[in-house]
Structure 1
Amino acid sequence: MTSESQRDTLLRRVDDLMPRLSDWNQTVWHYGETAWREYRSARFYVELLRRHGFEVEEGSAGMPTAFCATWRNGEGPTLGGYAEYDAVPGNCQAADVVKRPRDGLSPWAGGHTDPHSALGFGALGGFLAVQALMREQGIPGTLKFFGEPAEKVRGSKPLHAARGYYDDLDAAISFHPFYMLPLCNTTRWDTHCGAAYGVIYTFTCDSPETWLTSDRHSPIAASHASARAPGANDAVTQMYQNAKALREHVLASGLNWSMNEAILNAGQATADNLPAQMAQIMYFIRVPSVAQAEHVVRGLDHIAECAAQLAHCRVKRDWVAKSRPGLANHALAELTYRNLERVGAPCFGDEAIALARQIQANLGMTPMERPFLPATEQLMPPREAERELRRILPPTQTHFTSDDYTEYSWHAPTVRLYIGRPTLAPRDDGGAYPDWVMNALGGLAPCIDPMIETAAKTVGLTLLDLLQEPEALTRARAEFEERTGGGIGGSRWLAPLCDYPPPLDFRWPEYVTTPRGENDWVIPAPGPGRQ
């Protein structure tokens, strides 16, 4: 049984760690590296974990920016958690109270939005605090801490799951900054995240000479006086337009679901009379169930084939992600929420309040006395959050939104923990804040550190209980066995869907070094003589 003395000691460990957790978060936040290209961020974690005694496998599951770190202290439960550290292209905001990119970078470079930097160190703080207590007091058990890249495209967790990395876990903790009411300072109850599929369609025009109007006597595929083949750009345009137009015919209405696209490549053409040779478009689908995800992809396949035929191209589909819907675990959700109650919700101090009021003033608003959203400093019991969430969903919809933490939930009892991040209170005029505001608040240490501290303490206390209280782990495990029909391989267990290699070789945005300098971006940063 966990004693009050042990709990107090763990909370002090987090207090002692906070200056370093804050600094570490600032480092990764300013790296701002995006999916599959988080080289410095992953290296930072690997070196940090090794300094703390973890054995670290780099490049786990064939992903260069992933890792699996393990620390053992005798026979006992194996408990898992993770860091994410991918940022988002086009969100390069400085840690400032005005809109501006980080120094020397294009505004279209990467930046943290959720922010994943604080997600990682909120979780790691709890693991390092409990590790120190395990050493001091001889508490047996194993800690496994994963580096999960490319979460924004649901990249790594399906791959880790399919390669068996989660199979030895007795329980897992998934922490995420609050991003949607009512899921703030709470744990998820029944309605977990749904399935998410990501696909890339590559259109290639490699036989332009066979187009309808091609001049067979011309030395090039299309003479300057002839109509050339449409080519890959036309195919992507057709795909984009038809997928939008036919969206309502792909999946039945009445569900909360989404399908978004991103054009990764367009062209490889010239200003001459030559068609675009290759273009790529990626789709990301968030739906409640795997069956619905499969149905949407079948629809996209049909649209892609038609677009390719119209534009005189070939089309190839590649997988980016196949993640399963989440599996609830009430026992672990209750245990974690009790620990959150002990810690309390984040509390924003005078310095954070002053920064938030400066942002409001710079937006032309009258600064509020209490500028932060009240919910970010209040607790929300899981059952109450569930009731509020269900108000916006059809009765038959079992899952909502998406995040690939769900992969853990099919291999071990898993809790989804949300902690309030700095979010400004609603504007008096009913308007919305620009997106740079949330991004900036995630990089201002006085604003984001309260969330990191609350998360680290809640994660640490939950790990300590799972190590010290066998009955808590037994309850969580029994529920997992019941929900899966016998655990891994059980009658209701859903096996990993990942049957594809890591999608590393596509044109994911990244920082590059050129004659213009270091840390340039694939969309160059403004500089002398360049606009």
Structure 2
Amino acid sequence: MAADPTPEKRTALDWVEANAASLSEDHMTIWHMHEPSWREYRSAAWYVERLRAEGFEVEAGSAGMPTAFCATWSQGSGGPTIGCYAEYDAVTGSSQDPVPYRKPRDGVHPGAAGHTDPHSALGLGGLTGALAMKAAMEQHGIAGRIKFFGEPAEKMCGSKPIHASHGYYDDLDAAISFHPTSLPALSNTVIWETHCGCYWSKVYTFTSPDPETWGSAGERRGAQNSHAVARAPAAMDALCLMYTTTKYTKENMLPHRGSWTLNEAILNGGFATADNLPPRFSQIQFAWRCPSVEMAEAIEHVLDNNAKHVAGLTHCEVSSDWVTKTRPGLANNALAEITYGNFEIVGPPKFPEEAKEFGREMIRNLGYDAPAEPFAALLEQLVDPREGERQLREQLPSWQKNYTSDDYTDYTWHAPTVRLYVGRAALINPAPGVKVPHWCHCALGGLPAAMDPMFLTAGKVIALTGLELMTDPAALARCRAEFEERTGGGIGGSKWLPPLLGKNFPAPIHYPWPEYVETVRGTEWVLPTPPAA
């Protein structure tokens, strides 16, 4: 049975209820910006302005990332520093209006970005928690500091390893990570032991600086036209070979055990503007998810080897640069217990009839009969962390310590960190063997009735957990003791894993990541907006 909230926790809960309507509007503001990784200019600026108006000191562009920030607010002398954060990047190819049928947004290319998880609500959950915590600290005279981060490019696991590399997490006493649930059986809970694993990503650049030295490329005699001589394979062929060679060697990268994935994205395809000239420049990005650093290194070795041989075949030079390297997550059972206890006080989200009818209408528009309950019952139920751990471990081999990936894991090596999951409105499959289309998730992400219960619940749990750590030194001491034990002495301890990108790693902001641009035609997605039908 949940304990009654303390006076300071009651103040935080009341603050959230009193500000729920305006917070809902804030969420929709971010949702409608839908800016992708590393290019969240308007979204980051909104948070910076909002936090400054709330009395936070804000460093914009933290760690050299133009769309990141670090905001702090403190009261009194001493007291712990509690960290939480916002994410706000959208995902390319996910454009969708908040309507119960498939409809990409007007005014941008259908392949433009949209919020999927959605990070718009993830960010507002973190902001809600920070502001409710601050309100209670002010009313009850609680000493302490809130450190609230703006974390761009989460879909590339981009910013948190860089913030860690620059030392931004070193002064945290504890951190709270919230995510809308992506694991149905773990809808309203905290991770007990099996945290996310590694996400590594690298860009390979192929250049052909001297294509005329290839074979007969420079040998012209008499009336021989340059269009008719052999040309160097060059950068386009290098890109294609890197793509296909990696596909062919994927099965040889790791033994067939454990869960891991490898995916790619073409950033530059050759820049050819004449059919007879060899493309000089191409880039391809690879990203891989796996449980351990050792597995990640094995994949990297094969990729590097492939790139070296491909460059030799195509008369190219090759270079590679990291986008990100995350560490596998480190558990903290003490903080998980504290957070779940506060989740029991708050209770799971409850979705109103408006959200459920929207879900039924989507199912009907997919051509199926709509059930009375379009969302899974688990989305409105708490799951004990130990039971969630049991269900998660059922699908994993005993040796595997981490599962899937997310860059919050870099917080876990600098302070006791909890991973909070809150149920988000998501359709059940409409029929056996039928999967819910991606656009349905994106549409629900823009419906306040579907998102508000989830992110407001998260904000309450974050606030209550932060307040407990600030007002109960013994509770925080338990979390810190476990962190010290697991790291062999804290930061720099015998079992501590330092940032994998090294010290002061420069943000990979210079690559041609998709974005919204201003042209003479107005604001456009990187792909031109097609004419209206």
TM-score by length of 1: 0.97
- The reply to whether residue 512 of structure 1 matches residue 514 of structure 2 is no
Q: Contact (CA 8 Å) 1:229, 1:275: kept in 2 or not?
A: yes
Out of 492, 517, 522, the residue aligned to residue 526 of structure 2 is 522
How big is the shift at 1:380? Answer: 1.1
Counterparts of 2:356 and 2:128, CA distance in 1 = 24
Q: What is the aligned partner in structure 1 of residue 155 from structure 2?
A: 152
Return the match for 1:407 from 402, 407, 410. 410
Contact 1:2 1:465 in 2 (8 A): no
Inter-partner Cα distance in structure 1 for 2:209 and 2:221:
17
| Equivalent runs, 1:110-129 vs 2, <5 Å | 110-129=113-132
1:68-79 matches, within 5 Å, as 68-74=70-76, 75-79=78-82
Contact residue 222 and residue 274 of structure 1 kept, 8 A: no
Separation in 2, partners of 1:63, 1:4: 39
Q: CA deviation at 1:94?
A: 1.1
The residue correspondences of 1:27-176 to structure 2 (distance < 5 A) are 27-74=29-76, 75-176=78-179
Letter in 2 for 1:24: D
CA drift of 1:3 comes to 5.7
Deviation at 1:487, TM superposition (A): 0.3
Deviates more, 1:262-271 or 1:330-339: 262-271
3-state SS of 2:510 partner = coil
CA distance in 2, matches of 1:416, 1:222: 65
**Counterpart amino acid of 1:405?**
Y
Percent identical: 54
Amino acid at match of 2:62: S
Letter in 2 for 1:63: M
Q: List per-residue Cα deviations over 1:92-137 (Å, max 9, x = no partner).
A: 1111111112221111111111001100111110110110111111
Q: In the alignment, what sits opposite 1:280?
A: 283
Measure the CA separation in 2 of the matches of 1:300 and 1:483: 32
Please list, as runs of the form range in 1=range in 2, the aligned pairs for 1:122-521 lying within 5 A after superposition.
122-217=125-220, 223-499=226-502, 500-518=505-523, 520-521=524-525
Contact 2:220 2:226 in 1 (8 A): no
CA apart distance, 1:211? 1.2
- Letter of the aligned partner of 1:236 in structure 2? L
TM-score, structure 2 length as denominator? 0.97
Q: CA deviation at 1:181?
A: 2.9
Structure 1 unpaired stretches of 5+: none
Residue identity opposite 2:59 in structure 1: E
- Give, as a single letter, the amino acid of the residue that structure 2 aligns with 1:388: Q
CA 1:320–1:368: 2 relative to 1, 3 Å: same
**For each residue in 1:46-97, what CA deviation from the matched residue of structure 2 results, as whole angstroms up to 9, or x when unmatched?**
0000000000001100111000000010120100000001111111111111
Query: Whole-Å Cα distance in 2 between the matches of residues 218 and 165 of structure 1?
Result: 64
Give deviations 1:260-311, integer Å, cap 9, x for gaps. 1111110211242111211111011111111221221111000011111111
Q: CA deviation at 1:200?
A: 0.2
Q: Are the equivalent residues in 2 in contact too, given 1:359–1:437 (CA < 8 A)?
A: yes
Deviations 1:456-514, CA, capped at 9 Å, x for gaps: 11111101111111111000000000000000010000011113411011000000111
Q: In the TM superposition, what is the alpha-carbon distance from 1:153 to its structure 2 partner?
A: 0.7
Letter in 2 for 1:506: Y
The residue matched to 1:251 in structure 2 has which SS? coil
- Cα 1:222–1:14 change in 2 (3 A) is farther
- Indicate if the aligned counterparts of 2:112 and 2:525 stay in contact, CA closer than 8 A: yes
- Cα shift at 1:222: 8.4
1:409-450 Cα offsets, whole Å, 9 max, x none, are 000000000001111112224201110000111111111111
Does the 8 Å contact 2:363/2:430 carry over to 1? no
Task: Report the AA paired with residue 59 of structure 1.
Answer: G
Residue 501 of structure 1 aligns with an amino acid whose one-letter code is P
Output one character per residue of 1:222-279: Cα deviation in whole Å (capped at 9) or x when no partner. Answer: 8211222112111111111111111111112211011111111102112421112111
CA 1:13/1:222 → structure 2, altered by over 3 Å: closer, same or farther?
farther
Change (3 A) 1:228 1:222: farther
SS in 2 for 1:48: helix
Give the paired residue count: 528
